[in-house]
Amino acid sequence: MSYEEVIFYFVAAVTVLGALGVVLTRNVVHSALFLILALLAVAGVFILLSAEFLAIVQILIYGGAVTILILFVMMLTRVRDMPQALDGPQRPFAALAAGAFLVLSVLAALSSDWPGETREITVVPFREMGEALFRDWAVPFEVASLVLLVALIGAIVLARGEEGE
């Protein structure tokens, strides 16, 4: 086993552990903390895939902004004070569906005949990717910016509350 594989299995184990923690833990704040763990591990997976830029973005946006936001909302909606169970009544079905999906997905991944090289990573130059993003993908990029803007304005409008509230 090469050291790369060792690192991969370690990172993958952390990712799965974090993810399971997110969906299984009884404490919502722990759940959020497990999410941070999983996201950071995914950033590690990105690095293994030689996409360092995305790993950095992942840590900044997810590890920073998104989880903070989630924790804020948890605080505002007083989730911890709620006495009800965290899981709904259809938990067995959920497990069944997730398991079925997992089997199907893994089967598909292993049985597919992928074109091209599947053993070696070709390192993508960071600079060329930036050029492609701002040249060939300029319009989708701008549209995505617009989506972000609209979503933020919408979120503000929704969260701000009625006049006099």
Partner 1 sequence: MVGMGEAWLIPAIPAAAFVILLLVGKYLPRRGDWLAIGAMAAAFVLFFAVLIDLLGEVGKPDFVGVTSSIEWVRFDLPSGLEFELRLGFFVDQLAVVMLAVVTFVTLMVMVYSTGYMKDDPRYGWYFAAISMFAAAMLALVLADNFLLLYAAWEGVGFGSYLLIGFWHEKRSAAEAAKKAFITTRIGDVGLLIGIILLWREAGTFDISEIFEFAEAGGYSTAYLTTAVLFLFAGAVGKSAQFPLHVWLPDAMEGPTPVSALIHAATMVVAGVYLVARLMPLFVVADPIALNIITAVGLTTVMMSATMGLVATDLKRVIAYSTINSLGLMMVALGSLSVSAAMLYLFAHGFFKALLFLAAGSVIHATDRQELSDLGGLARRMPVTAAVFAVGALSMAGIVPLAGFWAKDEILNVVGDSQNFVVYGFLMLSVFITALYMTRVVILTFLGEPGDREAHQHAHDAEPVMTLPLLLLAGLTVLAGFVVFDGVGEALGFPGGIGEFVFLEGPEAFHFPWDVAVLSTLSAVAGLVGGFYFWSGEAEPARRAGELFRPAYKILKRKFYMDDIYQWTIDRVVLAAGGVLAWFDRNVVNDTGVDGSAGLGVLAGYGMKFLETGKLPNYALAIVTGVIVLAIVFMAVRV
Partner 2 sequence: MIPIENFLVLSSILFSIGIYGVLARRNAVLIIMSVELMLQAVSINFIAFAVYLYPEQFTGLIFAIFVITIAAAEVGLALGIILRIFRNKGTSNVDEVDMLKW
Which parts of 30-49 interact with partner 2 (CB under 8 A)? 31-32, 35, 38-39, 42, 45-46, 48-49
Of residues 100-129, those binding partner 1 (CB under 8 A): 100-101, 104, 107-108
d(CA 100, CA 139): 39
- Long-range CB contact pairs, 10-16, < 8 A, 24+: 11/41, 11/44, 11/45, 11/48, 12/41, 12/45, 14/38, 14/41, 14/44, 15/41, 15/42, 15/44, 15/45
**Contact with partner 1 (CB under 8 A): which of 9, 10, 53, 93?**
93
Residue 81 per-residue DSSP state = G
Name which of partner 2, partner 1, none residue 122 binds, using a CB cut-off of 5 to 8 Å depending on partner kind: partner 2
Tell which one of 90, 106, 148, 155 touches partner 1 (CB under 8 A). 90
Residue closer to partner 1 by CB (options 105, 145) is 105
Closer Cβ to partner 1, 107 or 133, answer by number:
107
Pattern 131-150, binding to partner 2, x per CB under 8 A? Answer: -xx---x--x---x--xx-x
- Centroid of chain to Cα 103: 21
